[in-house]
Amino acid sequence: MKLLTRNTDYAIRAVCYLARRREGIISVSELVKSLKVPRPFLRKILQILSKKGLIRSCRGIGGGFALAVSPEKIFITDIIEIFQGPLKINECILKKNLCPNVKVCPLKKKIDDIAKYVESELRSITILSLIKG
């Protein structure tokens, strides 16, 4: 089970980098070098984040990206949902279709409780809290 996809991981790292460097526009070259992410892959991620309004892009010489939203207002669940869809930790691990035993499964209640806790914790993590450590 993967909680975060590679896209989400790279997006969180890029947003954290931009948040640490609040003073201006950060070039794609600097982001690629610092984050060690392939340029085309990172550009795609940055374009998606820009379309969703979390970061802004500046074109031309000296162009690049900067945060569009304060880091204390960006939750990692916002980024997870952009790249992975609605946060859903608990899916039946036994079948792709709805399990016929969902109402009587002895494990489901325990997993539901764990999922609620994990979701609650994830929804409390902001980019600011990540960069402050």
Give the Cβ contact number of residue 101 at 10 Å. Answer: 13
Judged against a pLDDT cut of 60, whether residue 101 lies above it is answered with yes
- The residue with tokens 């994990």 is 118
DSSP state of 88: -
Tell me what pLDDT residue 92 has: 62
Q: What is the mean pLDDT of residues 82-109?
A: 74
* Predicted confidence band of residue 59 (pLDDT cuts 50, 70, 90): confident
* CB of 80 closer than 8 Å to CB of 8: yes
Closest residue by Cα to residue 52 from 72, 71, 67 = 67
* Predicted confidence band of residue 91 (pLDDT cuts 50, 70, 90): low
Q: What is the mean pLDDT of residues 34-48?
A: 95
Q: What is the mean pLDDT of residues 77-89?
A: 89
State pTM to two decimals. Answer: 0.84
Q: Which domains does the chain have, with CATH numbers?
A: 6-132 (1.10.10.10)
Q: Residues 6 or more apart from 73 whose CB is under 8 A from it?
A: 126
Give the Cβ contact number of residue 12 at 10 Å. Answer: 20
